[in-house]
């Protein structure tokens, strides 16, 4: 890949706060032209990272959302057999029924066929079935697709492939082998401070830092679902802009679980007890 190196500053210009590790890995995957596999808990900005990469490289983002039962027809290509049937009925016999006229492009094929270099995002690969992974292997390794009736379609450009996973199921070794692996954890206090500063108007750095520390404290509690980055930012935004001083109000934005809310509430109370 002959793209220029990405830096923390470039990410920052597009509103994404990265650390050195992330930038290193993205650079390595761009250089080696290998797919980037991002794994991590929900709400840490995995999908957003792919979007930002496409923005920085000024290329189109083609997205394939995986779900249970996704197959060739949804992801790769499909024959437009209604059109084929009509052709048969019209007696257009000299026409080849398996030509590109009758092919419906699905995201993967679209990514391969696009004229410009594009970022191809395969979102939540762990939701799909294991058989689907095998389907992807050819695209990931060779950057091409073989359609039995038509032959092999090679990519016009060297695409950048990004896969994201929540880790609800173990991905096969064959898939992992072809990727560069990156574990995107909850952000550090430093990054979270920057994100809050960027998103909440008129907040001072000190306040942003305090809120960021608070949310990192929450993540050390034994919660069913630790608050994600977006949830914290929204909560801080609402509380700060409406000048709500009481921390334990509006916990519904921060956590969507009654037991978790109880735990957070107790933690806040605890600090009150020490004071007295």
Partner 1 sequence: MILKTEEILNFKEYCKKNNLNLSSDRYSNLINFLNKNYQDSKLREIDFIYHILPSNLEEKQKLKNLIQHFFKISFFEEKINIVPINQYDEKFLNLIDKEKLNSTLNEITIDLINSYGDIDFSRPVSNTFWLNKIKQTAKYKEQLVFFDFFSENFLDNLVNLQNKKLFEDRLNYFILEKLQELRNTTKEAYLPVDLNPKEDLMEKDFLYTDSIERDQLLRETKKLGEILASKFKKYSKSNSSGKLLFRKTFRKSLQDGGNFYKLIFKPKVKRKPKLIFMCDISGSMALYSLFGLILLFGVIQKFSSVRTFVFIDGVTDISKRLRNIKINEVKQVLSDWNNFVKNDGHSDYEKSFNELLDNIKLEGNFAKTLLVIGDARNNYRNIDKDLIQRLDSTFDSIYWMNPERKQYWNTGDSQFYLFDEISTHSSEVRSYQQLKQFINNIRLNKVLR
CB of 153 to partner 1, least distance (A): 26
Q: Quote the tokens at residue 171.
A: 């991905």
* 249 contacts partner 1 (rule: CB under 8 A): no
Instruction: Out of 10, 51, 110, 210, point to the residue binding partner 1 (CB under 8 A).
Output: 210
* 150 contacts partner 1 (rule: CB under 8 A): no
| Euclidean distance between CA atoms 77 and 143, whole angstroms | 15
* 9 contacts partner 1 (rule: CB under 8 A): no
In this structure, the number of other CB atoms found within 10 A of the CB of residue 3 comes to 14
Residues between 82 and 141 with contacts to partner 1, criterion CB under 8 A? 82, 85, 129-130
Q: Quote the tokens at residue 213.
A: 């520390």
Crossing angle (nearest 10°) for helices 205-220 and 258-275: 120
In this structure, the number of other CB atoms found within 10 A of the CB of residue 239 comes to 19
Q: Which is nearer to partner 1, 80 or 157 (CB)?
A: 80
* 55 contacts partner 1 (rule: CB under 8 A): no
Instruction: Out of 81, 142, 152, 154, point to the residue binding partner 1 (CB under 8 A).
Output: 81
The SS3 of residue 78 is strand
- By residue count, the chain amounts to 276
Q: Which is nearer to partner 1, 62 or 70 (CB)?
A: 70
Number of residues that bind partner 1 (CB under 8 A): 53
Count of helices and strands (H, E) across the chain: 13, 9
Provide the b/e sequence for 215-230 (b: ≥16 CB within 10 Å): bbebeeeebeebbbbe
> Per CB under 8 A, which region of 7-15, 57-65, 99-107, 167-175 contacts partner 1?
167-175
Q: Which residues bind partner 1 (CB under 8 A)?
A: 20-21, 24-25, 27-28, 31-32, 34, 39, 81-82, 85, 129-130, 167-170, 173, 176-177, 179-183, 188-190, 206, 209-211, 213-214, 216-217, 222-224, 245-248, 257, 259, 267-268, 271-272, 274-275
């Amino acid at each position: 890949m002959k793209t220029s190196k990405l830096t923390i500053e470039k990410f920052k210009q597009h509103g994404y706060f990265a650390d050195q590790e992330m930038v290193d890995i993205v650079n390595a995957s761009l250089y080696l032209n290998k797919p980037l596999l991002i794994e991590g808990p929900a709400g840490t900005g995995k999908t957003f990272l792919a979007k930002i990469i496409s923005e920085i490289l000024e290329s189109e983002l083609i997205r394939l959302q995986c779900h249970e039962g996704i197959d060739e027809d949804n992801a790769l290509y499909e024959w437009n057999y209604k059109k084929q049937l009509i052709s048969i009925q019209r007696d257009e016999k000299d026409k080849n029924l398996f030509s590109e006229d009758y092919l419906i492009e699905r995201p993967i094929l679209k990514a391969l066929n696009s004229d410009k270099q594009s970022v191809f995002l395969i979102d939540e690969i762990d939701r799909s079935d294991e058989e689907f992974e095998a389907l992807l292997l050819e695209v990931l390794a060779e950057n091409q697709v073989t359609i039995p009736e038509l032959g092999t379609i090679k990519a016009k450009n060297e695409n950048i492939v990004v896969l994201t996973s929540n880790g609800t199921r173990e991905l096969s070794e064959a898939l992992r082998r072809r990727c560069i692996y990156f574990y995107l954890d909850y952000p550090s206090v430093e990054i979270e401070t920057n994100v809050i500063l960027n998103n909440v108007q008129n907040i001072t750095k000190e306040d942003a830092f305090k809120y960021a520390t608070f949310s990192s404290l929450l993540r050390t509690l034994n919660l069913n679902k630790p608050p994600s980055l977006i949830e914290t930012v929204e909560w801080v935004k609402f509380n700060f802009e409406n000048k709500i001083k009481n921390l334990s109000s509006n916990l519904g934005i921060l956590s969507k679980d009654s037991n978790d809310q109880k735990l957070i509430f107790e933690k806040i109370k605890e600090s009150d007890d020490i004071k007295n």
